[in-house]
A and B are shown apart, each in its own frame.
Chain A
Amino acid sequence: MTGLLHQIASGIASGAIYASVALALVMIYQATHHVNFAQGEMATLSTFVCLTLIQAGIPFWVAFVVALLLSFAFGAVVERVLMRPMMDAPVLASVGVFIGLLLIINALDGWIFGYTIKPFPSPFHSAHAMLGGYVSPHEIGATALTLLVLVLVWLFFRFTTLGLAMRAAAHNPASARLCGVRVNLMLSLGWGLAAAIGGAAGIMVAPIVFLDPNMMSGILLYAFAGALLGGIDSPLGAVIGGFAVGVLENLFGAYVVGTELKLTVALVIIVAVLVIKPAGLFGRAVHSRV
């Protein structure tokens, strides 16, 4: 029983990371109907930047904020330069550009920062494990911080004018434009925000999985599974889906398939969702008309 509780607790901790990346994916999907295959690599780049800042002697939280601001700017630039011309392109072209971006960022990470696996400092120190040793202080801190980010994002979209404008631009660009919303600017902001959320997830997971250029490839897969499970067009669904995938992955890994097949769990979840309920748990079913 304690083993089960332990698995669920650490599943929630990794679920928080998946939820953040899934949210970043869904935000971009909602606005552009593209899936950003480079989301994970962008987060890894943010994490490397953060580590570099910390090693330069900057306090953790300052480095954290600066890295997220830089990620925001990077995301906005990528949207402006690479994605804007792809807005109406066929799926193949956008997938090609995203995969290209993934490869370039991955190579840049390796080239600049090296391929050795690096430890990453955790900001959450504690002499003793909390909650009877079920979870580490870092897991609790990371989960809390992720939840805080998610709540902030929700508040932003729900209660600010800018958030409303961004939602309008994502849902109905033509009408939003006629109401005076600068849709293109909103798309850039959305990309920036998604990059920052992904970056926060990367920095929070790095102390657990250690940092190397391929750190996020598995995590991106779980985030895909979470986003599909929750419904690829539902931000709330993505968050719940991310947590669910985290718990499922840990339980299956511990009791059913063993840790060596954990990535396959994500594959099975993706296929199962697409077969049984393609719209996901919280998504809207899309009916296309001729």
Chain B
Amino acid sequence: MPDDISPAGTVPRAAKPVLPGRFTSRHALWMGLFLAVMVSFTFFADSYRLFQLTMLVVYAVAVLGMTILTGYSGQISLGHGAFFAIGSYATAILMSNYNWPYWATVPVAAAASALVGFLIGFPALRLGGLYLALTTFALAVAVPQILKVNALSDLTGGVQGLTMDKASAPFGLPLTGDQWIYLFSLGVGCVVFLMAWNLARGRSGRAMLAVREQAVAAEAMGVGLAGLKTRTFAVSAMITGVAGALSSIAVQFVAPDSFNFFLSITLFVGLVVGGVDSIPGALFGGAFIEFIPNIANDISKAAPGAIYGVILIGFMFLMPRGVGGAVVNLIRRAAGRGTKAGLAQAPAAE
């Protein structure tokens, strides 16, 4: 069996890293169009559709947090549901127990998630990617239990959870609560996406990519490995925490069992579907998370899990860069700059 001696994986490795380019006028045009369409939904969609679109934005932001972590620094988290939960609960506790206005809770939720992300990431990130996956897997499984603890039930509402008042439009704007919550989430989402874009194409983004591709070489060039990885993890947790806060505001209810292991896995599936290293891909991931389970639930109770599983394995074998990567590839090819980037061999994450 001579071919056995160097077993060639049939799975294409991660392609050459693509740094987000300069922000050109064409980018601005497309983004403007996209935003105009999204904003126009405010006035056309009924309140149920608006809620779904709000949750699309929420999940897209949550997946974006994982994109920064996995796509840019090459670390794997199976427990981002935990940071989503921290963001959600921070907002819920402040709104429900302390009567804070909804908008003021978002920065606090972001800070709380970032802090916990830093504390969890610090020990795990000094080790290989598999250990982080294990630690975060454990975190994801343990979260509902921690939220149910009796000692904290005055704060968290225990098993019952917490309910909040619905946010209403400020300044006497002629908008319903649902419309305003959708616009608010869209606005926060835009800010977070812009921040992530800037982070990724700046100095930190380059350092993260260098760590992903060749950790030793990056260290030799003066990138502080442990520090950078821990900070990346904290930023990633913060972004997902913001998504959690937005979801609390939209749903007006939190309970421990909404933040089970399946939520973390759902976010992971969204990441893979959207494309691990594609920032716009997070939108596809968010759309996938919001709409596919609804469709699948009509088939049977077991269907979402099975569909997620098949899609995960299918994407890993056939489309490891996800929808985002495939779309970028198509656009490039159409523009006559076809590089077959999806098939290019490059050093892998770990």
Contacts and interface: CB of A to CB of B under 8 A. Distances in A.
Interface string A60-72: 0000000000000
Interface in A100-128: 100-108, 110-111, 115
Interface in B295-330: 300-306, 308-313, 315-317, 320
Interface string A181-218: 01110000000000000000000000000000000011
B154 interface: no
B315 A96 contact: yes
A243 interface: no
B78 A174 contact: no
B309 A91 contact: no
A225 interface: yes
Contact of A274 (B124, B150, B301): B124
Task: Kindly state the interface size class of chain B when it binds its partner.
Answer: 35 or more
Contact of B8 (A35, A88, A271): A88
A94 to B, nearest CB: 8
Given A183-B4, A260-B149, A103 B124 contact: no
Contacts of A267: 135, 138-139, 141-142
Contacts of B7: 87-88
A104 B306 contact: yes
Contacts of B216: 290
B349 interface: yes
Interface in B55-92: 70, 74, 76, 78
Contact-residue size bin, chain A (C-beta under 8 Å from the other chain):
35 or more
B301 A110 contact: yes
Interface in B222-264: 261
Contacts of B13: 89-90
Interface stretch (B125-133, B195-203, B334-342): B125-133
A46 B199 CA distance: 47
A105 B306 CA distance: 8
A86 B312 CA distance: 14
A85 B10 contact: yes
Contact of A224 (B127, B134, B301): B134
Contact of B316 (A97, A102, A225, A261): A97
Interface in B275-308: 276, 300-306, 308
A241 to B, nearest CB: 14
B61 to A, nearest CB: 21
A177 interface: yes
29 contacts: A85-B9, A85-B11, A88-B7, A88-B9, A89-B348, A92-B349, A95-B78, A96-B312, A100-B310, A100-B311, A100-B312, A103-B306, A103-B312, A104-B310, A104-B313, A105-B309, A107-B309, A110-B301, A110-B302, A115-B301, A177-B1, A182-B1, A184-B1, A262-B145, A263-B141, A264-B145, A267-B138, A271-B120, A274-B124
Given A82-B313, A275-B123, 8 more contacts: A90-B14, A92-B14, A97-B313, A99-B268, A104-B305, A104-B309, A260-B145, A260-B150
